[in-house]
Amino acid sequence: MSSMPHPRRGAVRSRFRRRSPSLVPLLVQGVIWAGAAGVLGLWWTGTTSVVGPPDWLTGAGRITGLLAGYGCAVLVALMARIPLLDHRLGTDRLARWHAMGGRYTLSLVLAHTLLIVWGYSLASHSGVIRETTTLVLDYPDMFKATAAFLLLSGTAIVSARAARRRMSYETWHYLHFATYLAVFLAFGHQLSNGADFVGHRPAQLAWYTLYLTVAALIAWYRFLLPVRRSLRHRLRVTDICQEAPGVVSVHLTGRYLTELGAQSGQFFRWRFQAPGLWWTASPYSLSAPPLPHRLRITVKAAGGHSAALARLRPGTRVWVEGPYGGFTAARSSADKVLLLAGGVGITPLRALFETLPGEIKVTLIYRVRRPEDLALRAELDAIAAVRGAAVHYFVSEPAEYSCPLTARALKGLIPDLAAHEVYLCGPPGMTEAARRALRGAGVPRRSVHHESFEF
């Protein structure tokens, strides 16, 4: 087994500096809304008059269509994993924005389709079904746009929480790539049929610039850069170590790993070049601070992919995407921090536990089902001894060592909890209960940091 370096207080102090709250979220939102205003301005300048129900309906259809086209570009840009956005906003916030934007964009697509068909049918004095057939079969690029509509609707269905629970992460992740195809198929009909683009060269150039810029970002950050990094860093598995029942640590080595710029709390998408694993890249957090020639992840067998990692052989090549996420010490602006982990959610918090600045007072709460599920406990105890930190272990079985996840119970452990910043990681049910308990204990929403891998 690869040995872990003993934590040292001096190293902890020098590794990070706390930063003031970032204005990046507000700036990004400002840019997005400014773009939406520009799109509305495009319709306004291209519309001379609106007379009668057909004009009102088609005008509303044009507005919703323009906003839907712009929304598609924004959604894809949010998926591009641009480092400035990913590290400063955090993958959790980007995931929330993407999910919310997806619902708005699909609503705009539906409204655009219904309003245009309705307005055209009134103008031509034909039925809705006949007008729909005419639009799809006779107008340029509309057959492809119809396919795009079906793909977007299908993506929305598989993204619903009830459907998401019934499929593996890998299946859901790859089905999401249909979004790219849908945006590509829908692009042509915007320029060939949109009244705001036909004969308006500046508007066409602006739309091409928007979409080509987003396409370039996706091509670079999602595909070309991961290939380049994997070829340069040549990551390989060096050891597999069992940490708890069904939980293993995968130790990796490679070249020039400091160039990755990884920080404790971040995650990578790992593509192991082994039978049954090479075709998918799954997200796993670093479970120890990154070192110049060594990385470590700790994984619980929760599906076919994660269970297969226990059977990896030393020397297995690994392709990597990342690092991703803003779940780092840079988010901390308080002198007191609570690390709240559930199950294998301890992995990013274990790395943060060692590397948060030494002057910060840290408390760790680690909840699992059974005592034998307490992975990495020896390391946590060693770090706590060096930092002088408090560690609380709780298990569901036996019940006498459990602790309810309520505001009252948390305040009983940490009386000044409201003055803490909280890093939270664990199963969805546990994290939602923890959020409610923390709000009930007076912890501001902005002081609770949680990372999502579903992006």
Mean pLDDT of 387-406: 88
Structure confidence at residue 20 (pLDDT): 46
Q: How do residues 146-155 score in pLDDT, each as one tens digit?
A: 999 998 888 8
Structure letter (DSSP) for residue 224: I
Buried b (16+ CB within 10 A) or exposed e, 97-110: bbbebbeebbebbb
Is the separation of the CB atoms in 218 and 80 below 8 Å?
yes
What is the rounded distance in angstroms from the CA atom of residue 346 to the CA atom of residue 341? 5
Structure confidence at residue 438 (pLDDT): 95
pLDDT bin (cut points 50, 70, 90) of residue 387 is very high
The better pLDDT of the pair 164, 249 is held by 249
What is the rounded distance in angstroms from the CA atom of residue 333 to the CA atom of residue 214? 33
Structure confidence at residue 22 (pLDDT): 64
Structure confidence at residue 86 (pLDDT): 86
The better pLDDT of the pair 446, 14 is held by 446
What burial class does residue 451 get, using C-beta atoms within 10 Å of its C-beta: 0-12 exposed, 13-18 middle, 19+ buried? buried
The better pLDDT of the pair 163, 30 is held by 30
Structure confidence at residue 25 (pLDDT): 85
Structure confidence at residue 451 (pLDDT): 75
pLDDT bin (cut points 50, 70, 90) of residue 302 is confident
Q: How do residues 46-75 score in pLDDT, each as one tens digit?
A: 777 787 888 899 999 999 999 999 999 999
Structure confidence at residue 5 (pLDDT): 38
What is the rounded distance in angstroms from the CA atom of residue 81 to the CA atom of residue 85? 7
pLDDT bin (cut points 50, 70, 90) of residue 32 is very high
Structure confidence at residue 23 (pLDDT): 80
Structure confidence at residue 164 (pLDDT): 66
What is the rounded distance in angstroms from the CA atom of residue 226 to the CA atom of residue 162? 32
Residue range 329-450 in CATH 3.20.190.10:
no
Share of the chain above pLDDT 70, in %: 91
User: pTM of the full predicted structure?
Assistant: 0.80
Domain ranges of the chain: 24-198, 329-450
- Report the residue count for the chain: 455
- pLDDT exceeds 60 at position 15: no
pLDDT bin (cut points 50, 70, 90) of residue 96 is confident
- pLDDT exceeds 50 at position 270: yes
Q: How do residues 243-263 score in pLDDT, each as one tens digit?
A: 999 999 999 999 999 999 999
pLDDT bin (cut points 50, 70, 90) of residue 444 is very high
Structure confidence at residue 161 (pLDDT): 67
Structure confidence at residue 4 (pLDDT): 38
Mean pLDDT of 147-175: 75
Q: Give the tokens for residue 189.
A: 């009909």
Is the separation of the CB atoms in 367 and 342 below 8 Å?
yes
Structure confidence at residue 163 (pLDDT): 64
Q: How do residues 174-219 score in pLDDT, each as one tens digit?
A: 777 788 888 999 998 998 888 888 888 999 999 999 999 999 999 9
Is the separation of the CB atoms in 425 and 325 below 8 Å?
no
Rg (CA), the chain: 25
Structure confidence at residue 162 (pLDDT): 63
In 3-state terms the chain splits into helix, strand, coil percentages (rounded to 5) of 55, 15, 25
Q: How do residues 327-353 score in pLDDT, each as one tens digit?
A: 998 888 889 999 999 999 999 999 999
Structure confidence at residue 289 (pLDDT): 96
Structure confidence at residue 398 (pLDDT): 81
- pLDDT exceeds 70 at position 9: no
Mean pLDDT of the chain: 87
- pLDDT exceeds 50 at position 3: no
SS3 label, residue 104: helix
